[in-house]
Structure 1
Amino acid sequence: MQVIPVLDLLDGHVVRAVRGDRTAYRPIQSLLTAASEPLPIARALLATSGASTLYIADLGAILQRGAHAPVLATLRAALPGIELWLDAGYADYASMRALFDHIDAITQRDAPAAHHHSLATLVPVFGTESLRDRHALHTAQAAGLAPILSLDQRNGELLAATSLERSSAWWPSRVIAMTLDQVGSYAGPDLDTFERIRASAAPHTTVIGAGGIRNRADLGAAAGTGAAAWLVASALHDRQISVAHAQTS
């Protein structure tokens, strides 16, 4: 099972999640680095997890307080070979495309000599909390963007900005079982929700878990459900798990 580190951005800072309650998020204090800027923290997370993927939640965009486009452009230029899974509260394909184009414009302005192959790859994550047009996933797929769907859960219920078809027929090939209550909770992973979503997914669908991982034992339990990957932040920042654990889970 792959460990995918998470970077939460809010008001220009990397913040620590607290049970998905964004009003309680505060600037990160990490044992991985004394730095507080997004880029060194991103590098530290990737190094300690051994991952080639970084999940970014742009909470400013999700809360409609403004996306961190310059920060995202910096990360894209500075992390070649990395996949950046970006959840920025897209309501539809047009809003996703607008942000990606904005990031491209900043990158070209600030790093005009950078070649496309030397940039990190941006992958859109559409969260049901914000998504208003499920056809956005098909449009993004047709544009070659390999979109991911985040099934945002709170208190056992799907958070949905609009009515969504209950079957999994419209899901893309990768889906995240996002239990917001568990994010930053140190309460253990929500395996029941993960297994329920995995059972309802099509056979070809890759299901990824999120939240609650405390230690190596939790990684093993999550891997035992058949999860392809799990999103992790706090346990990495607190040095409760490392690349050795991630590679053996």
Structure 2
Amino acid sequence: MSPTPQQRRAARHQLATGSGAPAARRGPSGGRKKPITVDAIIGTAFGIVEREGYEALTMRRLAAALETGPSSLYAHVVNKEDLDELLIGRLCAEIDLPEPDPAAWRRQIVGVCTQLRDQYLRYPGISRAAFAAAPSNLDTLRVAEGLLAIMLAGGVDPRAAAWAIDSLMLYVNAYSLEVSLANTRRDRSDDAWVVSREELLRRFAALPATFPHTRRYATELTAGTVGDRFDFTIGLMLDGLKSTVADR
């Protein structure tokens, strides 16, 4: 008897992300079609997100791209949440985790967060799949394990390290999602939601006197690139761990 999708999912968590045994299929004209495997599902899903954004990824849309029906997908993945977990896990598998260095732990944390951010930005909106996801996929857990090892090597208190990792991941996810949304809206010629810095400065300057600080510090409020702000925020969060290191 073939394993159920739930059993396949459990096996992926215990061993590694696998593709399962491919099954040959025939297309409408009688020609052989690409077998449905977990790897084929993941690769096709990434293609949809890369071209159309994460919002376009549904089980029905994915099945159509694979020239099959949704029921065929459920032989390999439990549901959309399971697919999301596989996608985030595949991106996490590409993260290069350094050997923890007590003298360079802050730089190493920034490096891992930057890698994860760049992975998410390759696929517009995909970081949304990481929100509220249980940390059970082995590839995802590998990144959390690596971050924890780096922080512990740097002398961070274990509980502070655990909470800091959660906060860092939430920020990276949210940052990546916001950048993806802004880029998508910027590409729409009929959407004026995204405005330039010059336009923001003009609007702030035109504010009434009830916004004195916004008017006075408009330059500071709009300064820096999104990358500058990413580095600043990660650094600010790591600065908050200094006291836990000193207390140990």
Higher relative contact order (CA 8 A, sep 6+): 1
- Greater share of residues in helix: 2
Structure showing greater Rg:
2
* TM-score normalised by the chain length of structure 1: 0.28
Which one has a larger percent strand, Structure 1 or Structure 2?
A: 1
